[in-house]
Amino acid sequence: MSRRVRVDVRGAVQGVGFRPFVYRQAQKLGVSGWVENTAFGVRLEAEGIPDAIATLLRMIREIPPPNASIVSIDVEELNWRGDDGFVIRPSAADGARSAQILPDLATCEDCLRELFDPNDRRYLYPFINCTHCGPRYSIVEDVPYDRARTSMRHFPMCPACRAEYEDPLNRRFHAEPNACPGCGPRIALWNGKGATLAQDHDALLAVADAIRVGQIVAVKGVGGFHLLVDARDEAAVIRLRARKQRPDKPLAVMFPTLKDIARECDVWPVEGSLLSSTARPIVLVRRKEGSIAPAVAPGNPWLGAFLPYAPLHHILMHELGFPVIATSGNLSDEPIATDETEALVRLAGIADRFLVHNRPIIRAIDDSVVRVVCGRELVLRRARGFAPAPIAVDGMRSGTLALGGHMKATIALTLENAVLMSQHIGDLETVAARATHGRTVADMVRMRGQAPRLGVRDLHPDYATSVMAAGMGLPLAGVQHHLAHVVACMAEHGIALPALGVAWDGTGYGIDGTIWGGEFLLITDGGWRRVAHLRTFRLPGGEQAVREPRRSAVGLLYEAFGDDAFAMDEVPLLAAFSHAERAVLQTMLAQGVNAPVTSSMGRLFDGFAALCDLRQHASYEGQAAAEFEWAATEAQTPYEFALCPGARKDAPFVLDWKPALDTLLGDRRCGVAAGAVSAAFHDGLAAAIVSVARRIGERRVVLTGGCFQNVRLTEAAVAALRAAGHEPIWHRRVPPNDGGIALGQAVWAACTEGQLPRMS
Ligand code: ZN
Ligand code: ZN
Ligand code: FE
């Protein structure tokens, strides 16, 4: 009595040692047949006694390889054929492509042991890897995932490597990037002109020497170049900031070990496991007094820390033994450089030396950024280690392509019951960034081997993505920015309708043509409705207000007090403007010229921060709001936000900040510190969310938008909602900022199939 089955395993099952795993189990069980990679995952046929087949199926379900993520297993009964033995077949490359490509994986413990073993043939070899670790997404040119379709195809394996690769019992069996010093990629040290100064381990030692004396070194890693500099050397850090044109924005620090991070920062257990996970993201941890130079993250209680994830980093950090800044190799706002000759040009004048290697990077992938909120991870930037893992979304149909927003852009493509999200691309302010966005779209479509049926864009007419969408030659749907934020969060958690979305951010195009940003949207199966919003005010100078928080403050004062605002000399920020500037501002506000109306919560944060004299000018987006958050002390009596009915019947409620502003002005006159004002402001907003949820009568409340990167606000809102019997929902693996927009766009448009949903 024999049984033969065909098994289709779908999910992230290629490049994780799945076939060898099946092979070994089959050998053990005396099962014959074959296993192969296909364009949708892994397929196998197995025959043997029914007990053995049942055990094999159970093994696949219950103990698959550690990095595999199985979406489905389909078993079909076949007629017995009498195969001899079990084989691993070469890959089939045709047909629809739904195989998932794995994210890049941090070096595993086994490989690390070999890396530092003087008797191993890969001792100190910077490209050591196995079926459980190494580059994946960053080297893949096409699917199925096989060496011939990765950038490792340029390196024919030596006999020793090939023997490992072909031995089903070896842990490098079909490790596609398998390599050794004899046959694999090599590193070299270049000067700024591309002349080779040293090679192999000598190059690495020379880089360590350069970093020790305060030089800036560009290092080609997994998804692109990093700029490295001694994180303890204030002068070197300041030099890096000046050359990179990045005055204040925090820089990430790579530490040799988790212990080294714990010496400089308070690391909670959940943060420790994130830091050590195979994704190895940058994790924001609370810093203590230590050796890190103040210029790394000025005035910031948090430090973006991470651990080595490629063998090259492990060797370098082992050699150095101290923390280094490892920030993206780019000029402010441009995408990360990936190619060494391109890096020479783009990083000229920034890096003193270049540590390069000859394994091509197929796509740029930045480091991911994560922080812990309410005891679990909140991904702020989803890139290396997370992308391109799909987000499971029930009922999704394939073929909808969403282009995302404008800042922190990502793109999304729907599959059956899942959505593929691209890695973080960046702000589309530069030509280079827009080109990367275009390439990412083409890349994603090509890898799926399936043309999209529907394109999705933001409603903003001037976004680069809106222009690109028009050129795609596809039927198009537009999805409102804040609706996309709410839907992204709901999709991530599989939340059923209805729900009240609280979408708070800096800016997003509203359906009335004004700038939205402090929105409450009720989403039901009949569509969506703006049920409340922040009281509007004008932003004198428009976009300039993003760089000058004091302009938001003036806008608030003018809305509240009219022309009298300009007589309030006791408000220090007004004194910061010259008489001429004040006259211009007043005219702008009075006549509504170059002073757009907004309900932006981000700008409300900016305005309050400026009124506390924390920051009048910002060098990066959200700086004032972040500093306002950092200043917050323990709980205070919350500021009051009044919930008022709209002007017309059926108009949205208005959340009025005027009572909070009045209290703030009084507090500041009495010398209340900015930290106490900030705490009262945050807690007041949390209470305001509860009052809107109660008025609307909705139990489920979704917290989304860039403002919910703020841990103080999110934790206060979650606690207040829970205390009032509501069910708060907030982000986890999908960013609350505009990095999540593409997912929300794709899901909403796919669900409504391009029909513009009912809006009011
Ligand atoms: Zn390994
Ligand atoms: Zn070799
Ligand atoms: Fe947004």
**What is the distance in A from the centroid of ligand 1 to the CA of 107?**
5
According to the model, what pLDDT value does residue 447 have? Answer: 85
According to the model, what pLDDT value does residue 755 have? Answer: 52
- Above 90 in pLDDT, residue 9? yes
pLDDT tens for 33-84 read: 999 988 778 999 999 999 999 999 999 999 999 888 888 899 999 999 988 8
pLDDT tens for 97-129 read: 556 788 999 999 999 999 999 999 999 999 999
Give the ligand whose atoms come closest to the C-alpha of residue 109: 1
**What is the distance in A from the centroid of ligand 3 to the CA of 617?**
21
- The mean pLDDT value for 411-429 works out to 93
Give the ligand whose atoms come closest to the C-alpha of residue 310: 1
**What is the distance in A from the centroid of ligand 3 to the CA of 482?**
6
Percent of the chain exceeding pLDDT 90 equals 82
Tell me: do 290 and 178 sit in the same domain. Answer: yes
How is residue 433 annotated by DSSP?
Answer: H
Tell me: do 472 and 330 sit in the same domain. Answer: no
According to the model, what pLDDT value does residue 431 have? Answer: 93
The answer to whether residue 521 is domain-embedded is no
Among 327, 342, 368, which residue terminates a domain? Answer: 368
d(CA 437, CA 335): 10
Tell me, what amino acid is at 163? A
The answer to whether residue 321 is domain-embedded is yes
The answer to whether residue 631 is domain-embedded is no
d(CA 453, CA 445): 11
As given in the structure block, the two tokens for residue 384 are 């290396």
Contact 704, 731 (CB under 8 A): yes
The answer to whether residue 493 is domain-embedded is no
Kindly report the CATH number assigned to the domain that includes residue 457: 3.30.420.360
Tell me, what amino acid is at 458? D
Residue 123's domain comprises 101-368
**What is the distance in A from the centroid of ligand 3 to the CA of 618?**
19
Among 461, 480, 499, which residue terminates a domain? Answer: 480
Spell out which residues have Cβ within 5 A of ligand 2, the ion.
158, 161, 180, 182-183
**What is the distance in A from the centroid of ligand 3 to the CA of 242?**
29
Which strand (E) or helix (H) includes residue 607? Answer: helix 601-611
- The mean pLDDT value for 151-158 works out to 97
**What is the distance in A from the centroid of ligand 1 to the CA of 708?**
37
- When divided into structural domains, the chain yields a total of 3
**What is the distance in A from the centroid of ligand 3 to the CA of 465?**
14
Angle, nearest 10°, between helix axes 674-696 and 601-611? Answer: 150
Kindly report the CATH number assigned to the domain that includes residue 241: 3.90.870.30
Tell me: do 209 and 358 sit in the same domain. Answer: yes
Tell me: do 329 and 427 sit in the same domain. Answer: no
How high is the mean pLDDT of the chain?
93
Residues with Cβ within 8 Å of residue 351, at least 6 apart in sequence: 192, 216, 217, 218, 227, 329, 343
**What is the distance in A from the centroid of ligand 2 to the CA of 357?**
16
According to the model, what pLDDT value does residue 92 have? Answer: 62
d(CA 215, CA 229): 6
According to the model, what pLDDT value does residue 650 have? Answer: 87
d(CA 596, CA 443): 38
What residues are paired with 548 via a beta bridge? none
Backbone angles phi, psi at 368, to 5 degrees: -80, 155
Which strand (E) or helix (H) includes residue 286? Answer: strand 282-287
Tell me: do 157 and 306 sit in the same domain. Answer: yes
Tell me: do 299 and 350 sit in the same domain. Answer: yes
Placement of tokens 């991911």 in the chain: 368
Among 320, 341, 368, which residue terminates a domain? Answer: 368
d(CA 514, CA 533): 12
Query: Whole-model pTM?
Result: 0.93
Tell me: do 357 and 417 sit in the same domain. Answer: no
Q: Show the CA angle centred on residue 227, arms to residues 223 and 233, nearest 5°.
A: 145
According to the model, what pLDDT value does residue 758 have? Answer: 45
- Above 80 in pLDDT, residue 23? yes
**What is the distance in A from the centroid of ligand 2 to the CA of 182?**
5
- The mean pLDDT value for 734-753 works out to 94
Long-range contacts of 262-270 (CB under 8 A, 24+ apart): 263/290, 264/288, 264/290, 264/291, 264/292, 264/303, 264/305, 264/323, 265/290, 265/303, 265/305, 268/372, 270/372, 270/375, 270/376, 270/377
According to the model, what pLDDT value does residue 757 have? Answer: 45
What residues are paired with 44 via a beta bridge? 7, 35
d(CA 697, CA 337): 50
The answer to whether residue 434 is domain-embedded is yes
The answer to whether residue 327 is domain-embedded is yes
Distances (CA, A) of 123 to 158, 166, 217, 226, 375: 17, 22, 24, 24, 39
Tell me: do 80 and 37 sit in the same domain. Answer: yes
At 752, the pLDDT band (50, 70, 90 cuts) reads confident
**What is the distance in A from the centroid of ligand 3 to the CA of 437?**
18
Residue 63 neighbours by CB distance under 10 Å: 10
- The mean pLDDT value for 298-306 works out to 96
pLDDT tens for 491-539 read: 999 988 899 999 999 999 999 999 999 999 999 988 999 999 999 999 9
The answer to whether residue 622 is domain-embedded is no
According to the model, what pLDDT value does residue 332 have? Answer: 72
As given in the structure block, the two tokens for residue 7 are 């098994």
Give the ligand whose atoms come closest to the C-alpha of residue 172: 1
Give the ligand whose atoms come closest to the C-alpha of residue 158: 2
- The mean pLDDT value for 621-630 works out to 94
- The mean pLDDT value for 587-607 works out to 96
Tell me: do 376 and 297 sit in the same domain. Answer: no
The answer to whether residue 165 is domain-embedded is yes
pLDDT tens for 447-466 read: 887 889 999 999 999 999 99
Which of 329-343, 428-442, 524-538 is predicted least confidently?
A: 329-343
Which of 81-95, 473-487, 609-623, 654-668 is predicted least confidently?
A: 81-95
Backbone angles phi, psi at 741, to 5 degrees: -55, -45
Which of 4-13, 378-387, 485-494 is predicted least confidently?
A: 4-13
According to the model, what pLDDT value does residue 635 have? Answer: 78
Tell me: do 429 and 302 sit in the same domain. Answer: no
d(CA 720, CA 143): 48
d(CA 184, CA 177): 9
According to the model, what pLDDT value does residue 594 have? Answer: 95
- The mean pLDDT value for 725-746 works out to 98
**What is the distance in A from the centroid of ligand 1 to the CA of 256?**
19
pLDDT tens for 634-681 read: 878 999 999 999 888 889 999 999 999 999 999 999 999 999 999 999
At 754, the pLDDT band (50, 70, 90 cuts) reads low
According to the model, what pLDDT value does residue 760 have? Answer: 38
Angle, nearest 10°, between helix axes 711-723 and 623-631? Answer: 60
Tell me: do 401 and 360 sit in the same domain. Answer: no
d(CA 120, CA 114): 6
Contact 138, 360 (CB under 8 A): no
